[in-house]
Amino acid sequence: MSPGYVGQVRTKLSQSGRPITHLKNISVGANTCLMGLENIRKVTKLENFDKIIIEFAINDLSLATPDAYETWQCAYEGILRYILRKAPSIQVYNLILGRRAERKRHATELIRRGIEELSKYYGNIGNISIIDFDLELRSFTNNNHDEYVNYYKDDAHYNLDRGVPMLASFVANCLILDRYIVSGNMPRPLRACSFDRAKILQLPKVADGMAMREFENSRFNRSAVILETDKKFILKIQGPLVYISYLATFDARPLLVEEEGERPVMLLTSHPDLEDKEGKFLIKSFAFEWKEWSAIKNRGPRYVKLSAVDPDAIPSLSPYLVERYNAVRGVGSGSGPYVSTLMYLPPPKKDTGSKLKEC
């Protein structure tokens, strides 16, 4: 969203005499914190930054369900633990925004409680703060929903005349607060299967002989493997799949994921927003959110098969279809799909303590 709150925060900090000398934006819209976990691990010299803002609360509402909440807990804690290990002196701000719809309040509260729990748990070893703009806005509007919605452009975005300026001022005022001194050793994770030890596999680097495609625009540059209907891409990983990221285009074919020991999953990887926009793409991701990580039985190595689904084969594979993110069947015979990254969770090391052995 332009001009969004990031640019306005920068302006307000400059006006206060605390200008930002360097800003790195690694956000990818319409994705959960699992995408953040992938992207934060690509940042080199994270310790050179003074502050980092984690803002996924709106998109993470899709994980605030009984089946998916443990996946959210493992992913968000994984981000915090990774940051605190790589840059223990960095100031971490957990920004909580909310959706406009009243029916989303319960999910927002669930995410809020999770962030509060993690912030308190790691507060003794890191500069961790919460910027709860959703709570601030509800307080400012006296919890009057009719007034609250006047700060929104749509269900997920604040409007540019009222919501964004207020958000930018609130964030800027929090960022100028002085850091506090912390000390202490990294505690055991709250969740035994915290994803800070998850492994990320860039498929273009391991897909010998597979066709590749480069995707690039003004913000992003990503490589992907081009999957074909007559050729399965088979690889061995050391633990259960957590997440897949891919590039959505207007004509991308569905993706079939066959993980050893798990039910096959078919994903639609074309997006309606890209119709008739040749060359345009979206970075999308899919989480295997229903897995019970704390009680998962099959923790060891397994084979994963990835393949394109021919349009004629879609009906026969419909029992395996998992619909997400308004994705649609690709146009015509299609191309791709274009898969970029796999994330998996290896077994814990034997010497990491009894709690981790539960995973």
Q: What is the pLDDT of residues 223-259, one digit of tens each?
A: 999 999 999 999 999 999 999 999 999 999 999 999 9
Q: Quick one: pLDDT at residue 4?
A: 86
**Mean per-residue pLDDT for 273-284?**
88
Pick the closest to residue 192 from 329, 269, 296, 306 (CA basis). 296
CA distance 115 to 296: 24
Q: Quick one: pLDDT at residue 1?
A: 57
**Mean per-residue pLDDT for 261-267?**
97
- pLDDT tens for each residue of 286-325: 999 999 999 998 899 999 999 999 999 999 999 999 998 7
Q: Quick one: pLDDT at residue 324?
A: 85
CA distances to 116, 172, 281, 315, 319 from 323, in Å: 31, 38, 19, 14, 11
- pLDDT tens for each residue of 184-231: 889 999 999 999 999 999 999 999 889 999 999 999 999 999 999 999
**Mean per-residue pLDDT for 140-156?**
97
Helix (H) or strand (E) holding 284: strand 282-287
Helix (H) or strand (E) holding 246: strand 241-248
Q: Quick one: pLDDT at residue 325?
A: 75
Pick the closest to residue 224 from 238, 234, 237, 210 (CA basis). 210
**Number of neighbouring beta carbons within 10 Å of residue 169:** 14
Would the pLDDT of 114 be above 90? yes
CA distance 13 to 22: 13
SS3 355: helix
SS3 245: strand
Helical spans, DSSP H, in 198-338: 203-206
First to last CA, the chain: 40
CA distance 130 to 92: 8
Contacts of 64 (CB under 8 A, 6+ apart): 72, 106, 107, 108, 110, 111
Would the pLDDT of 354 be above 50? no
Least confident segment among 102-116, 155-169, 173-187: 173-187
- Predicted confidence band of residue 182 (pLDDT cuts 50, 70, 90): confident
Least confident segment among 59-63, 95-99, 327-331, 337-341: 327-331
Least confident segment among 148-162, 169-183, 247-261, 343-357: 343-357
Q: Quick one: pLDDT at residue 229?
A: 92
Would the pLDDT of 45 be above 80? yes
CA distance 269 to 357: 36
Least confident segment among 84-93, 273-282, 309-318, 332-341: 273-282
CA distances to 32, 111, 137, 171, 341 from 55, in Å: 10, 12, 16, 11, 22
Specify the amino acid at residue 156: A
Q: Quick one: pLDDT at residue 355?
A: 38
Structure-block tokens of residue 253? 């074919």
The owner of tokens 């959960």 is 32
Would the pLDDT of 348 be above 90? no
Task: Find out whether 237 and 319 touch, Cβ atoms under 8 Å.
Answer: no
Task: Find out whether 206 and 235 touch, Cβ atoms under 8 Å.
Answer: yes
The rounded percent of the chain whose pLDDT value lies above 90 is 86
Structure-block tokens of residue 173? 């005022």
Q: List, as own/partner pairs, every contact residues 65-68 make where C-beta atoms lie below 8 angstroms and the sequence separation is at least 24, other chains included.
A: 65/107, 67/289, 67/290, 68/287, 68/289, 68/290
